[in-house]
Amino acid sequence: MATLPTIWWRDIPMQVIAKDRREAHKIVLHTRFQVAVDKAAMKAGKKSASDYIEEMRRSARDCGDDLKAEAEAEAQRLEAHYTRAVLARLIEAGGVDSETASREGSSP
| Per-residue model confidence (pLDDT) at position 47 | 86
Q: What's the predicted TM-score (pTM) here?
A: 0.88
Beta-strand relationship, 56-63 and 2-9: antiparallel
| Per-residue model confidence (pLDDT) at position 98 | 81
Domain total of the chain: 1
Structural domain span for residue 6: 2-104
Residue ranges of the chain with pLDDT lower than 70? 100-108
| Per-residue model confidence (pLDDT) at position 100 | 60
In sequence order, which residues have a C-beta less than 8 Å from that of residue 88 and are 6 or more positions away?
36
